[in-house]
Amino acid sequence: MDSIPLTLDDLAQARARIPAEALGTPLWRNDVLSRDFGLPIHFKLENLQPTGSFKLRGASHKIDRLLAAGRGQRGVIAASAGNHAQGVARAALVSGLPATVVMPVGAPLTKIEACRGLAAEVVLAGNNLEEAKLVAERLGDERGLDFVHPYDDWEVIAGQASIGLEIMETLPAANLIVVPLGGGGLISGVALAIKLQHPAVRIVGVQTETVAPFRRFLDDGSLEAVTPSAHTIADGIKVKAPGVLTRQVIARHVDAIVTVDDNAIAEAMVCLLERTRTIGEGAGVVALAALRKGRVLPRPDDCVVLLISGGNADMTLVGRSIDYGLASSGRLMSLAVTIPDSPGRLAGLLGVVAEHGMNVRHVEHRRGELHVAVGMTEIILQIETRDLAHQQELLEHFAAQGLAARNLLATR
């Protein structure tokens, strides 16, 4: 196995070089989750960084090292789906350097505008991160710009390691750390910072079900091919070609790698919003999703840290995710009820809903459709409810009245 050149002293020095722009983020216990799981559950909130993600740490350290080596004066260039681009843009701006960021054509608009707001030149090219990276490397060569890799760089990894150092300083009892896993820069830095001090602490990486090149890596060293059409709402960890350097660290210091699907991620986004009043993007909440869905199984004496890596979520996706999360937890239902098309019947239907303590969001009539008999109307009610049992009460009430009712949002 290749040697890993970073020592604990190297990581401490890297942390000292990172400017105050990159915050030491909060690490705090969530009482509700801790009660639910019967053990202490903590969030490390990297979504509160000025750029909305942990990427600012690694980018700041890399640019510091470039300048120390007499490089970077003509500017830096990066390829990213958004968070690394913002980190590089802000770090370059603070250092007085011009920045160019190459982003895939489908990158979220919020992240594109954020980079432009940090005075970076944004180039949209390629359908994924790998294609954008090729363009960035070509432009860097043509313009004489220094390329800042999003994860496969020891100086970037050393910058991300500051998160692990903070975790152990703030919470020495932590013994299970769950970390989002894309290219591997974040988990490599965190794992090195922690394992070089406390080898018994368990580090678990989380990928998405559809983009999981590391799925069997710890078993047999193989990387799983990812299909070009693979989709996930966790665009920040949609990395199809993991790093070479990061694989060395992961093989030696990561204990397990698990996956979660987009539905679990959407539910976790809602959970985080409710528990912390902060927003987590899809990639940012996969650790929470893995815990909630039983993909990570803490031991009875574990003290758990869930790393929330970023909060740069597209607002349209947040809205859809909230509705999905509410529906999956039984707090939102879309009910189809067929009743006679006569005066007063809708009022009676709404009265029943009110009697059950439910709130109606939206009402829609359907007449003249082939599945609705002549003289009848299908009413679609979008209703806010307490939980799945509350929904079942209403369905049973309508069934007792002989009304055909179905929950359009029920799990199939």
Of 154, 178, 139, the residue nearest 243 (C-alpha): 154
Q: What is the CATH number of domain 330-407?
A: 3.30.70.260
Q: Cα–Cα distance between 358 and 356 in angstroms, integer?
A: 6
Alpha helices in 38-128 (DSSP H): 55-68, 83-95, 109-117
Q: Cα–Cα distance between 132 and 279 in angstroms, integer?
A: 27
pLDDT given for residue 106 in this prediction? 83
Q: Considering the entire predicted model, what is its pTM?
A: 0.89
Residues 6+ apart with CB under 8 A from 217: 223, 247, 250, 251, 257
The DSSP element (H or E) to which 316 belongs, if any, is helix 315-328
Q: What are phi and psi of 197, to 5 degrees?
A: -105, -45
Q: What are phi and psi of 293, to 5 degrees?
A: -95, 10
CATH topology of domain 55-147: Rossmann fold (3.40.50)
Enter the tokens of residue 56.
């600012």
Residue 92: DSSP 8-state = H
Q: How many CB atoms lie within 10 A of CB 366?
A: 14
Task: Out of 3.40.50.1100, 3.40.50.300, 3.30.2350.10, 3.40.50.11610, select the CATH number for domain 8-53+153-325.
Answer: 3.40.50.1100
Q: Are 201 and 195 in contact (CB under 8 A)?
A: yes
pLDDT in single tens digits along all 412 residues of the chain: 468 999 999 999 999 999 888 889 999 999 999 999 999 999 999 999 999 999 999 999 999 999 999 999 999 999 997 899 999 999 999 999 999 999 989 887 888 999 999 999 999 999 888 899 999 999 999 999 999 999 999 999 999 999 999 999 999 999 999 999 999 999 999 999 999 999 999 999 999 999 999 999 999 999 999 998 899 999 889 988 899 999 999 999 999 999 999 989 999 999 999 889 999 999 999 999 999 999 999 999 999 999 999 999 878 878 888 888 788 888 899 999 988 889 998 999 999 999 999 999 999 988 867 778 888 889 999 999 999 999 999 999 999 988 888 888 875 4
CATH 3.40.50.1100 domain position(s) in the chain: 8-53+153-325, 55-147
